[in-house]
Structure 1
């Protein structure tokens, strides 16, 4: 009986050789119902054939039994939403029994740039690393979304994590030189944010820079640091790769990025 189930399932349920009842109870995932239906239908129809033979009824050929089992499984599972993105077992089960396969989409997540509180200035910064170049960039914005200052600078080759910290250090120093009292630092590098908060060890090459940053932060009446998704950090990303003068009016497309942030545009990531 177990061998017939094994053949029917095309190797999907090899665990049945050990303890089929326990295996069925413990199956999890989107295709759990389909697998239980397959197992119980197989056992029921095989047991029915066994009873027919014991009581003198006509014997069915093995291929007929398997065909009946397949038909029963498919008719009972046809409306189940098997999803290959949730489980490889769903995909295999769909192929084995010719069942429709649904492809669900991951829910999208939205984010946006948030204005700082009145009296606070927000620093958004980023870093860029290529095979032959390394650079940082960032900008300071007030509560009404206006750009107070911005920077874009080439750096020597270093790791991207070191560059992200360097971008924050430079922006904080710039804010201090402008006599800003309250600073909100925002970076799309979770590593850099964690280093500043002290939950992650700082790379030894940047320990002096981190000490300098902490001394700089002491000059502010208040400060905080937070992580932002890169989709909502586009102005800083642009500045970290900028190859144009930063004096005068905002260059395109930086002007559009800043305007969209100020208007509360939602950005989406999959």
Structure 2
């Protein structure tokens, strides 16, 4: 009896030491809900007042799930040998920042970054987010990159090489143009809902002093959750 009690105590101690991964919990709950939906154990009635939530979980009911004016937005993993760079800028009432994240073909984080910006101009913050992302990729030898931003103005600038009309940002744009030829890159737009990770780090940068790089080892808790959901292919609903 004494041995059994000791064994039971050791097992209880092991269970108490287990750390729960909140991101794994989210994924398991999502998969369970989707499974119940597939076998018709969850119906539209359960989402009567929250169809938007059903859409975020990947459940769509005929004619009711998404308004025809809405749009499904997903962050997509890059194809090998490319990495994906998402960058963003953030300007508030009294602070500004920039940030971004680089992920591989599996959706895993290579690195992320955030920094403060001394500006009240959104375009300047967006440009700094892109510049620091390119510099960090170049320093680490990641030269095959898909660049995604949620600011169409950035794409217009670099597609048209139109920086003469941006005197405040002339040197930042010139530096980016100097860096781009060293990359094998694509440049595309993504709606802000799909750029949630970069948006998080840009807002984090606006609360910081200076610049910081992040790896998987020191990612903020909220960022881990967004990254996990992106990796799982969770759709976002863009309300127009």
TM-score normalised by structure 1 residue count: 0.58
Match of 2:31 in 1: none
Match of 1:117 in 2: 79
Name the SS for the 1:140 alignment partner. Answer: strand
Name the SS for the 1:123 alignment partner. Answer: strand
Q: 2:148 aligns with which of 186, 190, 193?
A: 186
Deviation at 1:256, TM superposition (A): 1.0
Where does 1:153-232 land on structure 2 (aligned, <5 Å)? 153-198=115-160, 201=163, 202-220=165-183, 222-232=184-194
Name the SS for the 1:253 alignment partner. Answer: helix
Q: Are the aligned partners of 2:95 and 2:120 in contact in 1 as well (CA < 8 Å)? A: no
Q: Are the aligned partners of 1:191 and 1:200 in contact in 2 as well (CA < 8 Å)? A: no
Unaligned 5+ segments in structure 2 are 1-66
Match of 2:226 in 1: 257
Query: Which stretch of structure 1 is more off in the superposition, 227-236 or 211-220?
Result: 211-220
Deviation at 1:110, TM superposition (A): 0.4
Whole-Å Cα distance in 1 between the matches of residues 161 and 70 of structure 2? 29
Over the aligned positions, Cα root-mean-square deviation in angstroms equals: 1.8
Q: Are the aligned partners of 1:185 and 1:224 in contact in 2 as well (CA < 8 Å)? A: yes
Whole-Å Cα distance in 2 between the matches of residues 257 and 196 of structure 1? 29
Deviation at 1:189, TM superposition (A): 0.6
The structure whose Rg is larger is 1
Where does 1:237-256 land on structure 2 (aligned, <5 Å)? 237-242=199-204, 243=207, 246=214, 248-256=217-225
1:129 aligned onto 2:91: yes
CA gap of 1:200–1:218, structure 2 versus 1, over 3 A, is closer
Where does 1:26-41 land on structure 2 (aligned, <5 Å)? none
Number of aligned residue pairs: give it: 165
Deviation at 1:199, TM superposition (A): 6.8
- The one-character-per-residue Cα deviations of 1:87-113 (angstroms, maximum 9, x if unpaired) are xxxxxxxxxxxxxxxxxx553210100
TM-score normalised by structure 2 residue count: 0.64
Unaligned 5+ segments in structure 1 are 1-104
Deviation at 1:165, TM superposition (A): 1.3
